[in-house]
Chain A
Amino acid sequence: EPEVTQTPSHQVTQMGQEVILRCVPISNHLYFYWYRQILGQKVEFLVSFYNNEISEKSEIFDDQFSVERPDGSNFTLKIRSTKLEDSAMYFCASKNQGSYEQYFGPGTRLTVT
């Protein structure tokens, strides 16, 4: 069964450094998402992406964040200058046209020290 994959599974970085989290959505899906979950809290929406542009973003998704689909298979989330409060689990998801069901990747645990 096709699945969403994410790399790396765990990333440790120092405050102020840039990080790129990578996702490979399901191949025929057209809508892509990033969510995050701070430890012990609920999962929160960050951004959705369709047709090579952001379709919706949350208040959390400020200028420090950016997303890109650099080729036909990858979808990335970049954090330009990480802060301690960016430590969280980041989930990528994708869905197909004509369906509301979203498929989630296994997540990347980001630790900012």
Chain B
Amino acid sequence: GIQVEQSPPDLILQEGANSTLRCNFSDSVNNLQWFHQNPWGQLINLFYIPSGTKQNGRLSATTVATERYSLLYISSSQTTDSGVYFCAVVEYGNKLVFGAGTILRVKS
């Protein structure tokens, strides 16, 4: 089955800094979603982005499907951005396959 790798596994930022999270996948995908898991464990849907670029406030995402990667940009990070960021893809069928996540800690 498809492999999804995220990097870095862990990231510590000072408040106000920018960061880039990466998601590599091993095969063509029909769907790619980025999620933020908050400290209460809820999965917050950030982007549905099988290709192209999207922006939502301080967050933006780019997926280059032909090269099998996606990037999540966080600008001017805030302490509330802390948590785990997951990338997930659909290869075929319907199920999402998740990466292991990037743990982000933003310090004030």
Contacts and interface: CB of A to CB of B under 8 A. Distances in A.
B90 A42 contact: no
Contacts, number: 57
A109 B39 CA distance: 13
B98 A44 contact: yes
B31 interface: yes
Overall SS of chain A's interface? strand
Interface string B27-57: 0001101010000011101001010000000
B33 A45 contact: no
A104 interface: yes
Interface in A42-92: 42-45, 48, 50, 55-56, 58, 89, 91
A107 B33 CA distance: 18
Q: Which of B30, B41, B45 has the most CB of A within 10 A?
A: B41
B56 to A, nearest CB: 14
Interface residues of A, number: 25
B71 interface: no
Given A45-B97, A93-B96, A101-B31, 15 more contacts: A42-B101, A43-B88, A43-B96, A48-B94, A48-B95, A55-B93, A91-B43, A95-B94, A100-B48, A100-B50, A101-B45, A102-B96, A104-B35, A107-B41, A109-B41
Interface of A: 31, 33, 35, 37, 42-45, 48, 50, 55-56, 58, 89, 91, 93, 95, 100-104, 106-107, 109
10 smallest CB-CB distances across A and B, nearest first, come from: A100-B31, A101-B48, A45-B95, A43-B98, A104-B43, A106-B42, A42-B98, A48-B94, A42-B100, A100-B30
